[in-house]
Structure formats: structure tokens, C-alpha cells
Structure 1
Amino acid sequence: MNFAWKKMRNQKTKLRSEFHSDLFMKDSHTQYQAEHSMRQLVEADINSLRRMLDELTLCKSDLESQAESLKEELLQLKQNHEQEVNALKSQLGERLNVEVDAAPNVDLNRVLNEMRSQYEALVENNHRDVEEWFAKQTEELNKQVASSSEQLQSSQAEIMELRRTVSSLEIELQAQHNLKDSLENTLTETEARYSSQLSQVQNTITNVESQLSEIRCDLERQNQEYQVLLDVKARLESEINTYRSLLESEDSKLPSNPCSTSNARGNSSGPCGSSQSRRC
């Protein structure tokens, strides 16, 4: 009985430890689900960053094409300006020839210099405005490109960090899978082993209960036999007491000298007479 009780207690302790192992496996599964959800969120962020990267690349290409277009437009403006200056010079040359014939007293050099100064000032203002506009556009474009480059580098660094995180999570997930498989195998083996042991313990308990039932029946039978013996003893003691009482009562009724009584009656041939002769 003590051995069976200790065995059952040990099995209870082992089953408790297996229960804790099962809880740990459930916690690991919950952690796996959380990490899987986190991984999906990270993958969604990576896809969003990739789309953003593609958009920034397209924006950069568009800005570069706009810069090239502005450079070509500035070059075209310079060429047009030179052509207009040359055409104006040729027109002014013909006009000067006509005016020299018509009015020789006019200072043509002064007029020409004034016109040239005005036109050069106008051209200089236009050129300065165009250069300022181009410089402003170029500066804004460079700022956008720099911001896009910084954002691109930040996105690339974040993508690399997310990839390392995903790789680490995949390794940890694989380890959790291996641990889960190992725990499941251990649990299956433990369940099979303890099922056999529980069956043996159940058989032992059944045998012990059967033995206890037999012992209880034997005790009840012996108790009944003991009660019968006690009753027999009581009856025998009662009968003995009865016989003793009867004998004592009979002895009290008998005379103290039976031989004298017999002689007085003249029964010399009686047993008392012979007894008396023998006593004499």
C-alpha cells in the first residue's frame, strides 16, 4: 500500500511537471503567433518602403530630367539672345548708314553707345533674372534630391535593420518549432509511458482492493465465529453455574452422616453399612 501510494504521488508530480511543460509549449505557440504577426507587419512596412523607394526613384529621375530640360532651355535662351543681339547690331548698322547720310551732325557713336548700354542692361537684367531663377530651381532641386537621398538612405538602413530582425525572428521561430516538436515527442512518450504505469497502478489498486475485501470478509467471518464462541462460552458458563447450583443444592439436602441413618433404619446390608465397615 505504501509503495503504491508513493508511486501514485510520484506520478502525480510528474504529471504536474508535464502540465507545466504543456503550458510552456502553449506560451511558446502564443509567442510564435505574436512574432508571426509582427513579421507580417514588418513585411508590410518593407513593401510600403519599397513602394516609397520606387516613387522617390521616379521623382529623382523626373527632377533630373527637369534639370536637364532647364539647362537646355537656358542654353537655348542664350543662343536666342546672341542671335537677337547680332540681328539688332546688323539693323543698327544699316540704320546708322542711313542716318549718316541724312543727318551728319548727329553724334552716332553716342547714340549707339546709349542704345547698346540700354540693351546690354536689359540683357543683363534678363540674364540675371534667368540665372537667379535657374539657381533657385537648381537649389530646390538639389534640396529635394538631397532630402530624397537622405530618406532613401534612411529607408535602406531601416530595410536592412528589418531584414536582420526578420532573419533573427525566423531563426528564433525555427528554434521554437524544434522545441515544440521535441516537447510534443516528449509529451507523447511520457503519455504512453505513464499510461502504462497508470494501468499497472490501477491493476495494483484493484488487487489491493480485492485483498482488502477478502481480509474484510475474513475479519467479519472470524468476528461472527468469535461471537458464536462467546455465545457458546456464555451458555456453557451458564450451564456450569446451573449444574454447580444444583450440586450445591443437592449437597445441602443430604445428611451430614448417612451411615448412622442407615444403621438406625436397620439397613446393614446397604452401601452405607459396607462403607462404614470399610471406614472402620
Structure 2
Amino acid sequence: MEFVGREEDFDPVAQQLASSEDEGRADENEAADQRPVEPEVTVIQILLASRSNTKTVLDIDNAKLASEDFKMNYAKEQAMRMAVEADISGLRRVLDDMNLGRSDLEMQYEGLKDELIMLKRSHQVEIALVKTHVGSQVNVSVDAAPSQDLNAAMTEIRKHYESVAIKNRKELEAWYQGKLATVEIEVMTNNEQLKSSLEPTLADTQKRYSAQLAGLQSMVTSLELQLSQLHANIAHNKQEYDMFLNLKTRLELEIAENRRLLDGEDDSSTQGRW
């Protein structure tokens, strides 16, 4: 009876040891169930973080490239604008020279017209003086020699001064026509020179603008292609990101389900112990 009583004293200790062993085995099983999951989750998280960082770096690089392209385009457009302004300034100077030349020619033409008017007036005055002088000579001749043939003398004198007047008029008209022809030749020469000087400038300007426009068009086409490629890359990265996000969600659900099952087994084992 005494030995049996000692065994009964050891029964609670044995039961505690058995319970501790069961709990240890349950913890080992739970740890064993969780060991393969945690490394996998860590790898997925690393992959997702790496993918996100790679996408961020690509976006930053693309933004830098786009910014550099815009800066280059701005510099080219600035240079083209300065060239256009320089050409416009040169054409304005040429136009000012043309206007000055035209004003000078108009002033010369007006001066010639005034000079012609003055010459005509002077010629008329000379004719009037000649007529007055001839009349006085006729009166003297009549008083001195009444028997002289006055009609013949008057006719001869009239013919002489008429021939002189015609000669002077012809010389004046010839001089005026010569001056006018000279001015017209100068105007035509200046116009031809101006036209000859402007045509190469305009041709060069048109050629340069055509080349610049072609370059800008090719640049715009290249930028559009780059932008399309960037959109495609962004769409592809978003698709991959969504795929990894779905995978992460499924893994989290599986992990939650495993934990729920493990928690249920723990509850069952705990209730079984009690």
C-alpha cells in the first residue's frame, strides 16, 4: 500500500512530462509547417521590391532622357529663332537701303523736273528779250533807212531767231531725255542689283528653313516613337507588377489559410489535452 501510494504521487509528474512532450512535438510540427513558407514569402517580397525599384529607376531614366531631349529641342529652336531674327534684320536693312535709294532717285527726278521748268522759263524770257531787241532794231532801221526792204529783213531775223530757239529747244529736250534715261538706267540697274542680291539670300533662307524643318520633323517622329516605346514599357511593367501583386495576394491568402488551419489544430490539440 505504501509503494502504491508513492506511484500515485509520481502520476502528476509523469502527466506533466507527457504533456510537455506533446506540446514540444506540436511546436516542432508547426515550425516545420512554417519553415518552407517564410523563405518563399521573403523571396517574393525581395522580387517585388526589386521589380518596384527597377521600375522606379527606369521611370527616372526615361524622365531624364525626355528632359534632355526637350532641352536639346529648346536649344535648337532657340538657335533657329536667332537665325531667323538675324535674317529678318538683314532683310530689313536691305529694305531700308532700297527705300533710301528710291527716295534719292525720286528727289533727283523732282530736281530734274524743276530744272526743266526753269530752263523753259529762261528760254521764254530769252525769246521775249530777243523779240524786244529785234523790234528796236527794226525801228532804228526804219528811222535810218526808210527805203530798205523791211519785210525781207524781218523775215531773215525771224528765221534766224526761230532757228536758234528750235536749236535751243532741241538741245534742252535732248539734255532732259539724256538725264531721264540716265536716271531710268540707274533705277533699273539698282533694281537688278537688288534683285540679284536678294534672290540668293532668299534661296539660302528657304533652303536653310527647309532643312531645319526636315530636321525638326524627323526629331518629332523620333520623339513620338520614343514616347510610344515608353508607354509600351510602362504598360508592360504595370502588367508584370499586377501579376506579382496577384501572386503576392494569393500567397498571403494561402499563408493566412495555413495559419488558420494551424491555429485550428492547436485549438483541437489543446481541447484534446483538457
Q: TM-score, normalised by structure 2?
A: 0.47
**Relative contact order (alpha carbons < 8 A, sep ≥ 6): 1 or 2 greater?**
2
TM-score (norm 1): 0.47
